[in-house]
Structure 1
């Protein structure tokens, strides 16, 4: 069960506490509502590059001092950039909460972006790009985004363009951070064993961030999310197993049908009881890997049905998957199948809340999109209210050519 208390400071900064008394650690997360969806083409990659540069020195610490101070309290720390937000976090023993908070706030508030570090980090980020460009999953995903959304923010990668990274200057970093890293667009999560220190933590945060101006609310750049007919993307590479992706445009993060989409995804490819698993593995022995999952952002989203299959069995597999989708559009899902899908998702969600990552992910998906945080019982109630008729109606308007993108990775056939 997720428990939390949320405070909103006068300048708009939100501070959320989630006390987990049985743990010995504490995690501090600062999240900014900015990512690649907020970037014009010339700035594509800036959110990610800025995330790297915030660790390269502050007015109080150089980059090695940051590393050393985290090490002194045995902390694990990192940062991550997505299409909609950027997160900085550190996790350590509960007794080091004050030192951990000091370091995290210093990185958020006082980064200086030394010129020599910018030049060094360009190469690091470009090497990160090179690494991911050798990764089949990343290549598939980036090509999928491009085919779905084209030359607009949603169609570009989080890492950005190499030519952009090579020309970013210190003034660009300073200006971007000043515009987007504001109290009105940021929130802080403190997750773990608070040991009655909540008021002290809140007092330190207020003391450090109260001088910041509220700032304007960040606005995601609008995504054109339509197409005419089926779209195809073929990526030719000689590999022993082809990857097939059947992708359909779905709703955005703030979507009243999200529980229906999740249940549909689970029925199609959510484990051994799913239709894909039974059809492709248990009945035909065609595939080891099959899945279905959702991705959604501030104003767009999609479902990906993915299968890995022998090159010679590709056409047979495509036929099976397409027939399965036709059946879902034509016939009601059985009550038993829906009940088991609900049981799986409800149970997984209850059991997942074990780590800081689980808690932070749960809270982030509400706070990033500024939605009211729901307790697990409320989520389960909504999920359990979904009917087979509602899912049939969803499939009829969802599995259509005007929302369908097919991506293939494998040899020329």
Structure 2
């Protein structure tokens, strides 16, 4: 029997797992044709784990990890990796924080040593902290001055209110300036715990060697479990900012499948059909047929126990009044009929995105780590593709009927006087959907 591309990838990329005595997970995936390795540590702590008084500390901590340890200065850290031609970086998200390096296979030991050093022996020098706080305050200012960024922050706040998941990752100027060395050390000790950390590596890797190196490099990591976090719940609401801009930035969204929901891939396909790419419904009707906006797209953001399906559009004030009814109509159509060609195209897009990403060791390492943090295992490629292929047109229309009949979140910035109020938008949508929200059965599980 011939081997399919998906089977070939799965067979060539067995994930090996080891759990250290501390509780830390080591996950590796060999790509023998490569001369390099991508490796990193993913911590199951992000902005949604912060208390109100800790708003922005996850992101600040990520920055400060590179600003000096007991044995390396900030410059030493950068030079150690770049001296061997490698790259080092980090990122903070809602659900996790990642620290990663890319280097040649013979420098794997150096990469793990540097990652272990910054995550267990950072000193949080006061002068470095003052400089980095200033850098992040500038970053906050830049985001506030960029309507495209600000509207997304406001959208998440409108969706989740004052829950941690509804706050910005960057924090506020006041919160960032309030953090000191002791605050950072306390947060690191309580949240960077081995049972909620994954060291993932892909490329030219030797699993057993990486396990040995990790046991030494992360010997001092905390072994307790981090504090529990309240589950997030979609609330809905609106945040509108009238500003003298050339374009209005509009975001409307709805409660959607989370990472563990059985409807996860249905949600992915729904968003793809609605507004992912030039062949999508929104792009064809709003941009191509009517010319009502410069850009329009739809997205699905799944988090650990909640999710969002949203639509983003940028348009001039003169087109705003006509734009929203068209968007509402296209949303409602999803609950009525999905063409076979649309399902096939959406599945092909998701498959291609998944398989193309697996050509990158960085993407493979990140996928392994995130899967381990969310599911406790690395999902095989064939299993993911099977779940994508199992989605039917009826699944998509049923999900559309359920989520679009529920509450919505709206954020807008710019010359938005012609924009209908959220209540009017949802009333129009309810009228087009017809029936009662309770008629749409199903849910999470």
Contact 1:28 1:104 in 2 (8 A): no
1:211 Cα offset (Å) = 5.0
Match of 2:330 in 1: 324
45-54 or 198-207, larger mean C-alpha shift: 198-207
Match of 1:346 in 2: 351
Q: 1:100 to 1:361 in 2, by over 3 A?
A: closer
Contact 1:232 1:406 in 2 (8 A): yes
Residue by residue, what CA displacement relative to the aligned partner does 1:256-303 show, whole Å, maximum 9, x if unpaired? 110100000011011122111211233223334111111122222101
Match of 1:395 in 2: 400
For 1:181-330, what aligned pairs fall within 5 Å after superposition?
A: 181-194=192-205, 197-210=206-219, 212-227=221-236, 231-329=237-335
Contact 1:51 1:81 in 2 (8 A): yes
Residue 411 of structure 1 pairs with residue 420 of structure 2: no
Q: Which of 30, 33, 51 matches 1:40?
A: 51
Match of 2:186 in 1: 175
Distance in structure 2 (CA, Å) of the matches to 1:12 and 1:37: 22
TM-score (norm 2): 0.87
Gaps of 5+ in 2: 1-8, 418-445
Distance in structure 2 (CA, Å) of the matches to 1:211 and 1:239: 52
Contact 1:294 1:301 in 2 (8 A): yes
Gaps of 5+ in 1: none
Match of 2:374 in 1: 369
Residue by residue, what CA displacement relative to the aligned partner does 1:14-73 show, whole Å, maximum 9, x if unpaired? 001111122221122011111111111011111111111111111111112112212211
Q: 1:177 to 1:404 in 2, by over 3 A?
A: same
Residue 378 of structure 1 pairs with residue 383 of structure 2: yes
Aligned-partner SS, 2:374: coil
Aligned-partner SS, 1:369: helix
Contact 1:140 1:409 in 2 (8 A): yes
Contact 2:287 2:293 in 1 (8 A): yes
Residue 54 of structure 1 pairs with residue 59 of structure 2: no
Runs of 4+ in 1 over 6 A off after TM superposition: none
Q: 1:272 to 1:407 in 2, by over 3 A?
A: same
TM-score (norm 1): 0.93
1:199 Cα offset (Å) = 1.8
Residue 125 of structure 1 pairs with residue 136 of structure 2: yes
Distance in structure 2 (CA, Å) of the matches to 1:38 and 1:255: 21
